[in-house]
Amino acid sequence: MTPLQKKTYELLKTVPKGRVTTYKALAHKLGTRGYRAVGQFMRTNPYGFIECHDADIQVPCHRVVASDGSLGGFMGGKTEETLSKKIALLEQEGVSIVSNKVVHFPEKLYTFN
DNA sequence: TATTTGACCAAGA
DNA sequence: ATCTTGGCCAAAT
């Protein structure tokens, strides 16, 4: 676990339920332009999958979406199955998805102000 | 060391 | 709305 990676997860933990953030926003807050690397961190390390009913979510990977409001990926991939899991988690928290995009994206976006 | 590969991004065509 | 292009960064090979 590299330092930057760890910081990324710590930061991600601060994203409140019902909001989402982006790879870019995370990277920016971390002081790097490596938004792409942030994707690597999500893909490689974090939990494969967190049950929908689990109240002890630690690192909410599902709250990270692409900067245009589209979903990005989940559980190491961007297949129908994994994305539907991601959608389920988000819907459960009050974030609705239509056509693989977050509804009212600007309002839901959490930018670490 | 050097190359390749992404859960990416922005700007053009 | 879709596709390409060039740029970005860290890990893995």
Q: Annotated catalytic, A61?
A: yes
Q: A3-18, pLDDT tens digit by residue?
A: 889 899 999 999 999 9
Band the pLDDT of A2: cuts 50, 70, 90: confident
pTM for the full predicted model = 0.90
* 8 A C-beta contact, residue A52 and residue A62: no
Task: Tell me the CA–C1' distance in angstroms for A53 and B7.
Answer: 23
Residue A54, Cβ density class (10 Å: 0-12 exposed, 13-18 middle, ≥19 buried) = exposed
Distance from chain centroid for Cα A45: 13
Position A52 confidence tier, pLDDT thresholds 50, 70, 90: very low
Distance CA A83, CA A11 (A): 23
Positions of strand B less than 7 angstroms from a protein CB: 6-10
Q: How far is the CA of A27 from the C1' of B13 (A)?
A: 29
